[in-house]
Amino acid sequence: MKKRRISLKNTPKVREYNQALRIGSKIQHVVQHNGAWAVKRSGASRVTKVYDKQNTAINKAIKIAKNCGTSVIVHGRDGRIRDIRRP
C-alpha cells in the first residue's frame, strides 16, 4: 500500500475543522489527584487547580471550558472516563 498526499484547499469547512482541532487540544479534564480532585488541561504536565470535592472541580472545569469553547471530561477514580460535559 502506498500513500499519496492530497492537498486540501483552505475552504471555510477546512478552516472550521482545523479550529475545532485547536480547541480540542484545550479540553479540560477532572481527575483524581493526591486524594483530591484536580482540573487539568489536555496535554498539560501540571494540574490547573486542586479541589477537595469532585463537584467543585467539575464546576470550575466547566467555567474554563465555556471560555475556551471546549468540553470537560470527568474521569473516575480508576482514571476511566465517567462523563463528558459539553457546556
**Using CB under 8 A, which residues numbered 16 to 55 contact other proteins?**
16-18, 20-25, 27, 29, 31, 40-44
Considering beta carbons, is residue 17 or 77 the nearer one to other proteins? 17
SS3 9: coil
CB of 83 to other proteins, least distance (A): 10
**Which cell is 77 given?**
477514580
Q: How far apart are CA 39 and CA 58, in angstroms?
A: 8
Cβ partners under 8 Å of residue 25, min gap 6: 42, 43
Contacting positions for other proteins (CB under 8 A): 1-6, 8-9, 11-14, 16-18, 20-25, 27, 29, 31, 40-44, 69-71, 73, 75, 79-81, 84, 86
